[in-house]
Amino acid sequence: MMRMTTNDTNSAAGGLRGLLDVLWRIHARNESAVLGIVTATEGSTYQKPGALVLLDGKGLRHGVISGGCLEPALEEAARKVHESGHAATIEFDTRTDEDLLFGSGIGCRGRVALLLLPLPPQAPLARALFAALDRGVDLHLSFALDDSELGAGSASFTRDAASAPCARWARDGRAVETGAIATTLRIDIATPPRLLLFGAGPETAPLALIARRLGWFVDLVEHRGRWAAFALDAAIDRRIDLAPAAAAAALADERYDAMLLMNHNYSLDLDWLRFCAADEVGYVGLLGPAARRDALLTELDAAARARLAPRLRAPVGLDLGGHGGEAVAVAIAAQLQQHFSARARNAAAATSTIVHG
């Protein structure tokens, strides 16, 4: 089952994770929703292709496409999809002087197009999104854009070797088993980043909160009672209460997008630095000053140092200034956001598909 967030607004998740939290609750009430996907943009726009919004019969429930000026028209279009049960498209063009004077008044001079899809309870697309989140894999979506089959499509997990469709649906969002679908729009939905923190401290709770609001998952390895107290009320998804050797065995089959060494303990950081050197994770953050980093690296063999070199951020975080746990958390989160955004852009350029971060 999908790991749900709490109803506490302070720990509500953002991004794809938060959208699926809301969708799960809508479907639990046996109600339908409408998923909006930004399919094309031009000029200055608040969102880019691949961005998602979720609406129901009453209005917007998660995500935005502008600073608030375009949402009323989007909600009206979504209500029509909700009532008809059929997909639709909508376009906003704010590039003209007429729009500045008589239209939205946004003044950003851009164009954004969306595909609005009905998501009834048990919709195949919804099930595919939930499954991708549970499995921690990216999802490849294909849609038809011609009038007769608008919104019909299929989904497949992008890491499956055969990439066979895991779901197919008609224009009303319901399952379809046979018949060809002429798809012309392809979008990749990226699974939310997963962070692994080694050690808890004053920065743990604020970092975990920021991460959840960004829609990321956060796990923590911490077996020391006094330090674990820092994570007692933190928005941690999973705490691994094991010493390094046992924790390393428990993590053998897990995949993370970033690992952060924050033990405030030299020996523990050295143990986990060796672990990270052997792992393929693309981002390794080490808390502490440069002199401490250099001392730790001298205790690794040359091969381990070479493996870490392109991935290690130490001291971790952007140099934003400030002191204390909250300032450290903001600096780390900012660097992680920069890293994940660059990775998404590179993936989009390599595959020529639309990526939702």
Task: Specify the number of domains making up the chain.
Answer: 2
Looking at the structure, tell me whether residues 34 and 169 fall in a common domain.
yes
For the domain that residue 250 is a member of, what is the CATH number? 3.40.50.720
Residue 303 lies in a domain: yes
Looking at the structure, tell me whether residues 17 and 149 fall in a common domain.
yes
Residue type, 242: L
Looking at the structure, tell me whether residues 129 and 266 fall in a common domain.
no
Residue 353 lies in a domain: no
| Residues recorded for the chain | 357
* pLDDT attached to residue 4: 41
Domain range for 64: 9-189
Residue 42's beta-bridge partner residues? Answer: 111
Looking at the structure, tell me whether residues 216 and 333 fall in a common domain.
yes
Looking at the structure, tell me whether residues 73 and 94 fall in a common domain.
yes
Residue 295 lies in a domain: yes
**Residue 12 neighbours by CB under 8 Å, 6+ apart:** 5, 6, 18, 21, 212, 213
Looking at the structure, tell me whether residues 182 and 212 fall in a common domain.
no
Closest CA to 107 of 118, 99, 117: 99
Looking at the structure, tell me whether residues 173 and 257 fall in a common domain.
no
Residue 291 lies in a domain: yes
* pLDDT attached to residue 177: 78
Confidence (pTM) = 0.88
* pLDDT attached to residue 159: 67
CA distances from 103 to 116, 289, 349 (A): 22, 53, 34
For the chain, 357 residues long, the average pLDDT of each consecutive 10-residue run is: 42 92 97 96 85 94 88 94 95 66 53 95 96 93 92 85 75 83 87 97 97 97 96 95 96 95 97 96 97 98 97 96 94 97 74 46
CA distances from 331 to 144, 198, 218, 286, 296 (A): 42, 17, 17, 13, 22
Looking at the structure, tell me whether residues 60 and 208 fall in a common domain.
no
The last residue of one of the domains, among 189, 207, 236, is: 189
* pLDDT attached to residue 309: 96
End-to-end Cα distance, the chain: 22
Coil, helix or strand for 225?
A: helix
Looking at the structure, tell me whether residues 239 and 318 fall in a common domain.
yes
Residue 318 lies in a domain: yes
* pLDDT attached to residue 357: 43
Residue 323 lies in a domain: yes
**Residue 212 neighbours by CB under 8 Å, 6+ apart:** 5, 11, 12, 13, 14, 218, 235
Residue 253 lies in a domain: yes
Looking at the structure, tell me whether residues 105 and 234 fall in a common domain.
no
As to burial, measured by CB atoms within 10 angstroms (0-12 exposed, 13-18 middle, 19+ buried), residue 290 is: exposed
Residue 1 lies in a domain: no
* pLDDT attached to residue 44: 77
Looking at the structure, tell me whether residues 317 and 173 fall in a common domain.
no
Looking at the structure, tell me whether residues 80 and 219 fall in a common domain.
no
